[in-house]
Structure 1
């Protein structure tokens, strides 16, 4: 097994816990953290699909981050200012452990399951969190059941 613990920037972690992309590394930061938690690489569509599970695991490890509220940030400078304040309050980096029971499905089956939930069909309301941020067409693990 690879290292079970690894440090991540608070912006990467808060991206999952708040549902807003706050990582200075953008989607790359989300991919690296998601892959660490899952113990395997996740495709971009899988980040949204498993975002609830990833969020729950991060909040299990860092429950104090559940209360973090992100203001509506209008530009890069405002985001940088807010993120610097968050780093002062919550730390620049935090240790994250791999999830011990994270299970994923076949990425193709996940993608196919997500297609039935697409807002392009007019039958889905916008989702909160990472799913809403990345796009309303992203599904959830419930779609596989």
Structure 2
């Protein structure tokens, strides 16, 4: 059985929409993606990992497909929209990990993104 956990709807919407709505800012996104993939996610991996997780979130909760904030809202109106979405759908929803996930090495991802010649690995000195 896949272990689910309760996740703030605002964190989920930060992955399924183009808006950072999490009240914990990017920390909420990191925690959600870590739960879904079972691995730590580094900043340069956020986009690709979120893109991989968004369809699974929508599959788990189909209402997310159409739950997008209107364009052009200022910050206060955006948060008013979020509060209304939470009133309708709940402040938290159950999220299961991805059924299949291949671990993504952060160094390899960085090398793929910018070229291996631009990635420097620094290791702490041994005592």
Q: TM-score range by the shorter chain?
A: 0.7 to 0.9
Q: For residue 56 of structure 1, give the secondary structure of its aligned residue in structure 2.
A: helix
The equivalent of 1:73 in structure 2 is: 73
Cα offsets for 1:37-57 (capped at 9, x unmatched): 001211121111222111011
Give distance in 1, aligned partners of 2:6 and 2:63: 17
Unaligned runs of 5+ in 2: 116-127
- The 5 Å alignment of 1:112-131 reads 112-115=111-114
Q: Cα offset for 1:79?
A: 2.6
The alignment's TM-score, normalised by the length of structure 1, stands at 0.72
The equivalent of 1:36 in structure 2 is: 35
Higher Cα Rg, which structure: 2
Maintained 8 Å contact 2:69/2:78: no
- The 5 Å alignment of 1:6-45 reads 6-45=5-44
Give distance in 2, aligned partners of 1:54 and 1:11: 15
Maintained 8 Å contact 2:39/2:103: no
Maintained 8 Å contact 2:6/2:93: yes
Q: For residue 82 of structure 1, give the secondary structure of its aligned residue in structure 2.
A: helix
Unaligned runs of 5+ in 1: 117-145
CA RMSD of aligned residues (A): 1.5
Deviates more, 1:31-40 or 1:3-12: 3-12
Q: Cα offset for 1:21?
A: 0.8
The alignment's TM-score, normalised by the length of structure 2, stands at 0.81
